[in-house]
Chains A and B, each alone.
Chain A
Amino acid sequence: MGLIMQNRDKIKNFLNEYISECEINSDTKDFISSLLHLKGKIFNVESGFTWAEFNYHIASLFESTDKRDSSIVACSAAIELLVLATDILDDLADQDLNGELLTWVPAPQAVSLSSVLLMEGLHIISQYKNSQIFLSVVAQLREAAQGQTMDLSFCISRKHVPTEKEYFAQISRKSVSLTRLVFHLNVPHKELAFWSKVADYIGFSGQISNDARDIFDDTKNDLVDKKATLPLIKAIEASQARDDDWLLMMLTTKNLRESRDLLPIIRSYIKKTGAIKYCDILSEVYLNKALLLLKKKQETSTNKMHYTDLIKFLGDDHH
């Protein structure tokens, strides 16, 4: 815990200083600060996983933290800003107006805020990384942006229920690209093939877990908007086989935004199909795949301690 707080404090200090010196108005600074205190963000004391610390741990595997700590801290802060930018766009696209982000920031300000966060994140990276790495980061952000666009239409309908395979292709573009971005920022080019696998496993694990939880979250609109997330896809599959397509009928004949009283019944049904259990298992399987690769790499590493820190950060209590 002491090491985590030390890393986190360095990143927070950087962000405080950077934001205060940024050429943006004070309202925007206040908004950024508020959003960085939300659940899962670097200034929230209850946050377990934060993207900034994830980047710090990955960077530490490859760079000596003594010599290059300022660069690692700065780029970790940049990652936090970039992901926050994508979070805002995600909530806007999903119209999650009751979600944490858009409760704090009105939609018009959220749009420009997302733009500012994106630019500041890229600016920080450009100060510390060479052009090849910078372009690699931009490529992953492009992938994420294109995935976000496709996500708008990645829904359940009578005409088409996406398959599990299509789901993985979609999240690979939209969400896992952010995990890959962290590795592209830090990993030597010749090792990217190996580390891309680790990135994919971690990304799949996180996104599947996220999607399973969001089914039950009243501030999220995944279910209401019939987003084709894995738990919903599998529940519909089961329903088609066993209950005469009941779930698809419910989703496509009822306006769940207006009939929110149906949500408990639908959630209970989804749970009974085993779809949530399936997602929980799959999420852990993918995480374990990542951890196995890390442990294997650690065996021949001269940086074993940082591998241990990363493995613990990802949730392997047995290491």
Chain B
Amino acid sequence: MNEKLWALVQEFVDKAHVGNAELAVAGADLDSDVSSIFTKHMSQISELPASGPLEWV
């Protein structure tokens, strides 16, 4: 699971503008539970790490 995800993240992280459709196609090879989360995160532009729901200190 993780190797495919890592490869895709590296492929798309540098791209300035990536459409959801392009991400969805790229993520089609991922497990279904991973694909939508991949598309969501890669279409966001953020400066800092996302605040995960589980912000335990």
Contact = CB atoms under 8 A, between A and B. Distances in A.
Interface of A: 38-41, 48-49, 51, 87, 164, 202, 205-206, 208-210, 212-213, 215-216, 234, 237-238, 272-274, 276-285, 287-289, 292, 314-316
Contact of A281 (B10, B38, B48, B51): B38
Contacts of B52: 205-206, 208-209, 212, 280, 283-284, 287, 315
A102 to B, nearest CB: 14
Interface string B20-51: 00000000000001100110011000001111
Given A216-B48, A238-B10, A277-B42, A209 B54 contact: yes
B54 A234 contact: no
Contacts of A282: 2, 5
A237 to B, nearest CB: 8
Most A Cβ at <10 Å: residue of B38, B50, B54: B54
Given A277-B42, A281-B37, A49 B56 contact: yes
Contacts of A206: 52, 54, 56
A315 B34 contact: no
A273 B9 CA distance: 9
Given A210-B57, A283-B54, 6 more contacts: A51-B56, A206-B56, A278-B6, A279-B49, A281-B41, A284-B53
B26 to A, nearest CB: 13
Contact of B54 (A49, A272, A274): A49
A238 B33 CA distance: 25
A49 B9 contact: no
A277 B33 contact: no
A144 B51 CA distance: 25
Nearest to A48: B55
Contacts of B55: 40, 48-49, 209-210, 213
A280 B49 contact: yes
B56 A272 contact: no
A291 to B, nearest CB: 9
Nearest to A51: B56
Nearest to B53: A315
A273 B48 CA distance: 14
Nearest to A204: B54
Contacts of B37: 281, 284-285, 288
A16 to B, nearest CB: 21
> What are the 6 A-B residue pairs with the smallest beta carbon separation, nearest first?
A315-B53, A40-B57, A209-B52, A274-B13, A206-B54, A274-B9
B7 to A, nearest CB: 10
Nearest to B37: A284
